[in-house]
Amino acid sequence: MPNPTLPRIFLLLLMGLMVIPMTTSPAAESDLSKRRATLDQLRRILPPSAPWEAWLEKTGELPPDFDAMPSTPGLPDPLVRRVNGKIVPVRTKAEWKERQEELRALFQQWVIGSVPPTPDNLEAEVLSEREEGGATVRQVRLRFGPGQKATLRVELMIPKGNGPFPVFVTQHNHRGWALIALRRGYLGCVYAGADSQDDTDTFAAAYPDYDWSRLTRRGWAASRCVDYLLTEPKADPKRIALTGHSRNGKSSLIASALDDRFAAVISSSSGAGGTMPARYYAEPHSGEGIEMLTRSFPEWFHPRLRFFVGREDKLPVDMHELVALTAPRPLLLAIALNDGVESAWAMQQTYRAAKPVYEMLGAEENLRILWRPGGHETSPTVIERYLDWCDTHFGRGNYEFPERFVSPMGAPTGERAGRTENGPRLRPLEEAKSVGAWEERRAALRNVIDDMLGDAPPVAANPGGTYGREAAHVAALLGRGDPGAGVEKEQVVFGEYINADVYLPAGLKASGRKAPAVLWLHPFSYAGGYVAPYRRGEHVFRALARQGFVVLTFDQIGFGRRIEEGESFYRRHPRWSLLGKMVRDSRAALDAMERLPYVDSAQMWGAGYSLGSLVGLHLGALDDRLAGFVSVSGPPPLGDLRLANADLRMEGSRRPGGSAADPYSSSLRSDWEEQISVLLPRLAGSERDRPPYDLSDLLAGFAPRPVLVISPQLDWRAPSERVKAQVEEARKAYDLHNAAGKLEQQSPETYNQFGPEMQAQVIEWLKRQGDRPR
């Protein structure tokens, strides 16, 4: 077993954080002042966290100097090392061993905390042993560490026979899993490293000089089980599997990253802090971002991780590298399609970022994703598949685990087509000197957008109906069975057999009145669709309905109930685009909204966050029925995105312009670059110097209708100043209509999120528009 502990001074020197000045220089004072200002800002913008504040008070720690850290918008490449200030690729097994030690040190510094060396004084006390149903069941208490103060309860379930038997290690609340493993000929090993039974507080007491987190201690506990299993003759030391679900899946990944004695690993729905990268599973993905993760579960990870809220691009490591640390050993990444703790797209990005490590080590077949239907729950069927994985790699069976990409976001380029180099072009916006000239340019813009959306297949009108409404059990799975207090809910089937939910103020329908309506367009919420699995405050569609608005919303293709619908989209429509389908569905949603008897069709507004902003901006540029639009943390300028060569990760290419000063500037692409390259293949495949249109053109396409653009100051995905330049360019179209004030930009001091404070801004703006004369 490699020693996961590096000397503390090496950890600090590795990160370039240890500064030992003989005197306090002006430069050092400036650095400290800047870091204190960053901490003050975090305290202003983040929800309060008493445990974090207590840690700050106790340690006096400050955030790192973020200005001195490289920005890595994509996932850092696990096969790139820093050697004497230079960037060196990892090409051999020996180099990977060195890289593993570097990554372990980085994770201990920033994410999981430091861990002690393997104890050399482990003793086992057998508490009981009995014969039961053809197996020996043994209860053991392990003691180890300084003064043997650390203790751990372990249960072994040993099949009859001489052995040695493969071993299935899991946590106390997964004892039922171990029973299935026992039936299949495994020695089951269950340990007290779960919420239901957790002995790891004794570890913290025994090792007070280590700042490890609770999940790290639980992962370390699994290694102590291995120490004991090596003394059991009936346990096969070369065939020890480890698994865990949810938070136990996180601790299992940590254990495997630190201890290569685990011969096979199954990470079951481990979510944020497990298989979900912080860069690709945060608030704009309706994910459990660093803020919520570190506030809701402050003991799970090191408090230092909270410094990176809204600065995920500065995090020196990400969770795909925790996955890669298991290489070349077999690792199964298990995920449910509609499990709110994870994202199909983010899982695929983790898989694709870690896979080159397995390929380099000649173990490509040892990494797979296992998809299952439903939510966070598991069942015997699922556990049987986990054991199939173990059997396959332990030479006990041969089960199929095919490579599958459920979400086309991140699928190899062979799944995408329909790109074209020739198409209509736009004249510069400043050449439109009159409203008439602007109208001509807007018509040209619509032609350009239509061309980039692809060759749309035939369509016919749908008068609407009720057949095909979402079943109650599906609504319950997706968290939208209950409309909430003071709100009523209806369902309509519109467009190409799509279900929409309509939320309206209680009593509106019976009153005979008409109300303003909002088409809510959801973010990159793969598991939940329009329902955000993680959020602060209530769902925005309920908040709007309680404020008097009718809200129509639905799952876009590839999300929520429709997650598998997107899987083969480009096989079925090779010259269309996913964004084209989303815009078509959104226009059909406006058709359905117009038909609702309680909707004021002159006041049909749109609002979108993240992906919803991208869809809504295209929708409004093409369809005048939107009275106006609110864009919350939308995309960056399209001209800023690097979209060509969409398969960079699979080809092993790097971002151009990498340097020793900015080692990860050679990293892989940002989430917007990855997403838009699949949403708009023609845009991604264009060889033009600049995109055929940009945000400024989409915004100008709304003129003179009101538009609010919310671009947070700390949004590294779409920098506020870059968005502002696009807004000011679009204002030229509004100036032609003497309506410059109808295009607004707000840049609150916060990061990319859509919490209750920002929801209040949106609601206030929408109400204000309703009061304006038309």
DSSP state of 239: E
Contact 216, 254 (CB under 8 A): yes
DSSP state of 42: H
When pLDDT is averaged across residues 48-76 and rounded to a whole number, the result is 96
Which of these, 286, 221, 208, 228, lies nearest to 248 by C-alpha position?
221
Predicted pLDDT of residue 29: 85
The contacts found for 227-230 with CB under 8 angstroms, 24 or more apart, are 227/118, 227/119, 227/122, 227/142, 227/144, 228/122, 228/124, 228/140, 228/142, 228/154, 229/167, 229/169, 229/187, 229/189
DSSP track, 414-448: GG-----S----PPPGGG--SHHHHHHHHHHHHHH
| Residue 359 in tokens | 């390929």
**Between these two residues, 16 and 603, which has the higher pLDDT value?**
603
Round the average pLDDT of the chain to a whole number and report it: 91
Contact 386, 334 (CB under 8 A): yes
* Percent of the residues in the chain that have a pLDDT greater than 70, as a whole number: 90
Q: Among 36-50, 204-218, 654-668, which stretch is predicted with the lowest mean pLDDT? A: 654-668
The Cα–Cα gap between 509 and 489 comes to 10
When pLDDT is averaged across residues 437-457 and rounded to a whole number, the result is 95
How would residue 534 be classed by pLDDT, with cut points 50, 70 and 90? very high
Predicted pLDDT of residue 24: 67
| Phi and psi angles of residue 558, each rounded to the nearest 5 degrees, phi first | 90, 5
Predicted pLDDT of residue 431: 85
**How far does CA 5 lie from the centroid of its chain?**
29
How would residue 30 be classed by pLDDT, with cut points 50, 70 and 90? confident
How would residue 429 be classed by pLDDT, with cut points 50, 70 and 90? confident
Instruction: Write the pLDDT tens digit of every residue in 481-524.
Output: 999 999 999 999 999 999 999 999 999 999 999 999 999 999 99
Lateral strand order in the sheet of 599-609: 487-494, 498-505, 550-553, 515-521, 599-609, 629-632, 707-710, 743-746
How would residue 663 be classed by pLDDT, with cut points 50, 70 and 90? very low
When pLDDT is averaged across residues 118-131 and rounded to a whole number, the result is 98
When pLDDT is averaged across residues 196-215 and rounded to a whole number, the result is 98
DSSP track, 600-658: EEEEEEEEEETHHHHHHHHHHHH-TT---EEEES-PPPGGG---SSTTHHHHT---TT-
CA angle 459, 465, 468 (to 5 degrees): 85
**How far does CA 10 lie from the centroid of its chain?**
31
Contact 592, 492 (CB under 8 A): yes
When pLDDT is averaged across residues 361-376 and rounded to a whole number, the result is 97
Which of these, 529, 576, 707, 531, lies nearest to 634 by C-alpha position?
707
Contact 501, 482 (CB under 8 A): no
Using the predicted structure, report yes or no on whether residue 23 has a pLDDT greater than 80: no
| Phi and psi angles of residue 586, each rounded to the nearest 5 degrees, phi first | -70, -35
Which of these, 672, 679, 344, 348, lies nearest to 528 by C-alpha position?
344
Instruction: Write the pLDDT tens digit of every residue in 67-102.
Output: 999 999 999 999 998 778 788 999 999 999 999 999
DSSP state of 185: T
**How far does CA 377 lie from the centroid of its chain?**
20
